Amino acid sequence: MSYPKTISIYKKDTGIVVQTLYVLKESDIILSNDFDFIEGSYKPNKFKVVDGVVETYKSTYITGVNEYLVRKQRNLLLVNSDWTQLPDSPLSQTKKNAWSKYRQELRDMMASYTDTEENTLDKVIFPKPPKWYNRNLLWHNTIII
């Protein structure tokens, strides 16, 4: 083997690729007895090594992962709009009410969310925040990730 090269590290017991590295020399590769490597760049958790041959691999979906990601995004949107409900907020009462409605929609959305492998964060439609402009802040209808 000539160096430098890209290698993929995998767990010996499962064969699942866990990391891909670019190494300059063989002495850069230090692995515990539970791991081995194969030459080439293979995405972690997308490939596995079986008898020295790389195969595609589809991991098992872990229940709750997508719900966690959606809830995390929803919570971030709530936190980022907390200031709209403070007594010293510069918003008019009409705008505060619009933001209050938006925030309630965010809270309610999880009641209708179903956690499945296909129901990923990028497929969820979040409530749209009220549009408004302040000379120091312009709110765009975007999801913060």
With contact defined as beta carbons under 8 Å apart, do 139 and 131 qualify? yes
The whole-model pTM stands at 0.56
The pLDDT > 90 percentage for the chain reads: 72
pLDDT at 132: 63
Mean pLDDT of 58-86: 91
The whole-number average pLDDT for the span 63-79 is 93
What six digits make up the tokens of 90? 């510069």
pLDDT at 105: 97
User: For tokens 């190494």, what's the residue?
Assistant: 23
The amino acid present at 6, given as its one-letter code, is T
**Average pLDDT of the chain to the nearest whole number:** 88
Q: Which residues have C-beta within 8 Å of that of residue 114, sequence separation ≥ 6?
A: none
d(CA 90, CA 95): 10
What is the DSSP secondary structure assignment for residue 124, as one 8-state letter? Answer: -
pLDDT given at position 82: 94
Q: For 47-82, give one letter per residue: b (16+ CB within 10 A) or e.
A: bbbeeeebeebeeeeeeeebbebbbebbeebeeebe
In 25-142, beta strands by DSSP E: 35-39, 47-50, 53-56, 133-134, 137-138
Alpha-carbon gap, residue 45 to 61, rounded angstroms: 12
